[in-house]
Amino acid sequence: MEPLSTITPPPIQKAALHLYQLYDVADTINLDRAREVSSAPSARVRPVASRGGNIEIAQLPLELSMGDYTVPIGERHLRAYLSARIYDLGIFALRLVLPLDDPLTWDDLTDLMAHVQNVPSSVMGVFETNCDVLRKMLAPAILKPNVTTRTEDYAILLVEQLAPGAPASLLGKSPTLLRAALGERRPLSASAQSLATSLSYYEDDLILLTWSAAIVIEPDAIARDDAALLLEFANVELLSFRTYDDQVERDLMHIAPRIQQRRRPIVSSLGSTGAFLHEIHALITDITQTSARVENALKVSEDVYWNRVYTAALATLRVNVWRASIAETLQVLRETASMLHDDSHAAWATLLEILVIVLIAVELVVALIGPH
C-alpha cells in the first residue's frame, strides 16, 4: 500500500476561498437592536445541524449581506461577495467569499494561498471600508465601544468537489495539502506535518487545521456551512480573549502602584484601603463574569465530531494561551485582595491595641489624681 504521505491529491473541481477579517469593536452588541437598525439584508445564522452535532450557541450571530466585488489577487481578478456576521460579544466577522468554479491543481491553490497569507491591500481596503460602514449603521446597538480595535484574520478553503482519485480522508498527511494551506511554495520538512491537525468523518471529507488557514473538503453543503461556522467561532473566541487579556493587563498595571502604597496600611488609610479592596473585588467579579460569558458563548455538550473539530481548532489557534494569561491575572488579583484584607485586619488589631493601652493609661491617671 502506498504511504499516506505520498498519496497524490486529486485536482480540485469546485471550491470557494473564504477570507476573514474580524474586528473586536465593543464589549457587547445588542443583536435585536442591530437587526432593527440595519439597512442591509439580514438573517440569523442557523445552528449546527449536521452529523448528530449538539453545539449550543447562546446567541446565534446576525448575518448581513454587504455586496459584490472584484478583487485583484496575484495575477487574477476574482469576483467575490462580502458578508458580515455580528456577534453579541462585540465582534464583526467580515467574510469575503471567492468562488473557484474552474478546476485547479494544488500548485495553483498554493500560489493563490501564498498571495493571501498577508491580506492584499485591495482586499484590506474592502474590509476596512465595510467595517466603518457597520460601525456607523449599527451604532445604536453597540454598547461600550472599545478604545482600541483589535483584529484577527483567517482563511478557509471549502472544497466542494475533487476529481476522481484518492479519497479525501487519506489526504490529511499529504504535504501537498499542508503547503497549500500555508501558501508555502518551498517543500516542507517531514516534521512540519505535526504543526497541523486533520479530522475526517466520512471517507470523502477532510478538515485540515493550521494556525492561519484551514482546508475543508466536504461534498455536503450543510456540513460545509457547519464547519465554516465553527472555525469562524473559534477565531471569534480567540479575538475575544486576546482583547480581554489586554484590558485585564491594563487594569492590573493601573492598580499595581496603589497596591504598594497600601501594603502596610496605617490607621489613617484604613478607609481608603477598604474602598480599594472593594474595587479589586469588583474587578475580580468582572473578569470572572466576562470570561464565563466568552466560554459559554458556545457549549460543547456531547462528544461528537463537530465538538472535536471545535476543540481542535481552539488548540491549533492557541486560545488556551490567552485563557491561561487571564487566569493568572485573576489569581494575582485574588492573592492581592487576600493580602490587603489580612493587612487591613492587622491594622485594625493594632488600632484596638492602641485604644486599649490609652484607656488603661487614662484609668491609671484618674486613679492617681482622684484622691486629690
As a whole number of angstroms, the distance between CA 182 and CA 192 comes to: 11
Lowest-pLDDT range of 61-70, 142-151, 180-189, 296-305: 296-305
Among 29, 10, 251, 272, which residue's Cα sits nearest to residue 137? 29
pLDDT in tens, 12-37: 999 999 999 999 999 899 999 998 88
pLDDT band for position 356 (cuts 50, 70, 90): confident
pLDDT in tens, 309-331: 988 999 999 888 877 877 777 77
Mean pLDDT computed over 137-147: 91
pLDDT at 342: 57
Q: Hey, which of 38-42, 131-135, 246-250, 342-346 has the most confident mean pLDDT?
A: 131-135
Contacts of 123 (CB under 8 A, 6+ apart): 19, 71, 73, 96, 116
Confidence tier at 49 by pLDDT (50, 70, 90)? low
Rounded to two decimals, the pTM is 0.81
> What is the C-alpha to C-alpha distance for residues 224 and 220, in angstroms, rounded to an integer?
6
Phi, psi angles (nearest 5°) of residue 59:
-130, 100
% of the chain at pLDDT higher than 90: 43
Is it the case that residue 52 has pLDDT exceeding 70?
Answer: no
Range list of β-strands (E), 192-271: 197-199, 206-209, 213-217
pLDDT of residue 259: 57
Only one residue has cell 488557514, namely: 213
**% residues pLDDT > 70 (the chain):** 75
The dihedral over CA atoms of 140, 145, 148, 154, expressed in degrees to the nearest 10, equals -70
Q: Give phi and psi for 16, each to the nearest 5.
A: -145, 135
CA distance 224 to 279: 47
Q: Residue 236 — pLDDT band, cuts 50, 70, 90? A: very high
